[in-house]
Structure 1
Amino acid sequence: MNPITLNTLAAFPLQLEQHYAAIPNACTHWKPASWEGVPSEPFSAIEQICHVRDIEIDGYHLRFRRTLDEHNPLLPSIDSDLLAGERNYASADPIEVFRSFRAARAKTVALISSLAPEQFDRQAEFEGYGSLTLRSLVHYLCSHDQQHLAGLQWLLGKIEAESATEPATA
């Protein structure tokens, strides 16, 4: 696996925590009036981190395992909005979310690091993406991470824009 991709995956939990920490405490559940231009799913900051955790565990862990164990499996997409409602993301404890995400990502990095070069050529069909290899799946995970860092930065921009347009109080 490309070292930059593996290193980026390993560094992501800390980056996610730092980006989340930049969101003012009073705004972790805040949602803008419009999600136009959001580079990730339209989730509040707390919902973003829950989504990343759940996609790691319920999405990518399963996808990697099936791609390694089955012949050209169909990897279903996950309905993120449904999952957010079912798991009540808005009431999540960010400390617990980050704890479980760090453990899940460590498991992901350990798996990827342990694979033989030919295992990265294993093929699957990913709903919404089409045919891919395990190597492509790793890159899609890395891309998904970056989308959520961008989503948190986008939320910060919206928070700042809204606070700049609020009238000053006397």
Structure 2
Amino acid sequence: MRSLSAMPDYLYEQFDSLTAEDARLPGPGGAFSPVEQVWHLADLEREGFGVRIRRLRDEQAPRLHDFDGARIARERHYRSLSLREGLEAFAVARKANLATLQSLPGEAWGRSGTQEGVGIVTLCELPALLLQHDQAHRLEIEEWKRRQAESQVRPHEGVSAR
């Protein structure tokens, strides 16, 4: 759970100093920009993982919907939103989900349902799925930062000092 609770701080460290313009620069191959990253994470945390956690806790063998992150990003125009508000929304949602998970009695961890596109999932698997998703986004963020650093160097390449 400690790794999961560290993700909001990681996002703040990576993105808090970006200008509004830089926060909207897309990643390589059309990957999410920083502002799209944080809003995707916030919405998935609330509407994906949060809903799954509550339904698995409260319902008998629920059928859980998939979360189409790319479609939702387009529909909600993530790139036009506030980076700061997205960071805050994710932090609040992650804190709430972790509090819910930590409050579960031992017998609840075996509760299961069927997630569209995944199959059977149990409450005990959700922390690992959250962590796996966080790690995938960390890699995307590191790649975005690397590409941005390279693009800052390129304009100066080929200029000879005389």
TM-score w.r.t. length of structure 2: 0.87
2:135 corresponds to which residue? 146
Cα offsets for 1:122-169 (capped at 9, x unmatched): 111122222121111221012111211221111011112333333557
CA contact 2:15–2:34 (8 Å) conserved in 1: yes
1:66 shift after superposition: 1.1
1:75 shift after superposition: 1.3
Residue identity matched to 1:101: F
1:54 corresponds to which residue? 43
1:165 corresponds to which residue? 154
1:65 shift after superposition: 1.0
1:136 corresponds to which residue? 125
Q: Which has the higher Rg, Structure 1 or Structure 2?
A: 2
User: 2-side partners of 1:77 and 1:124: how far apart?
Assistant: 13
Structure 2 SS opposite 1:131: strand
CA contact 1:23–1:156 (8 Å) conserved in 2: no
TM-score w.r.t. length of structure 1: 0.83
1:115 to 95, 99, 104: 104
1:3 corresponds to which residue? none
| Structure 2 stretches lacking a partner, 5+ long | none
| Structure 1 stretches lacking a partner, 5+ long | 1-5, 36-41
Q: Percent same amino acid at aligned positions?
A: 28
Q: Determine if the alignment matches structure 1 residue 15 to structure 2 residue 10.
A: yes
Residue identity matched to 2:80: S
Cα offsets for 1:81-107 (capped at 9, x unmatched): 221122211111122112222211111
How many positions carry a matched residue from both structures? 159
2:93 corresponds to which residue? 104
1:27 corresponds to which residue? 22
- After superposing on structure 2, the runs of 4+ consecutive aligned residues of structure 1 that deviate more than 3 Å are 21-26, 167-170
1:67-82 equivalence runs, <5 A: 67-82=56-71
CA contact 1:20–1:152 (8 Å) conserved in 2: no
Residue identity matched to 2:100: L
1:21 shift after superposition: 3.4
CA contact 2:28–2:144 (8 Å) conserved in 1: no
User: 2-side partners of 1:47 and 1:8: how far apart?
Assistant: 22
CA contact 2:16–2:84 (8 Å) conserved in 1: no
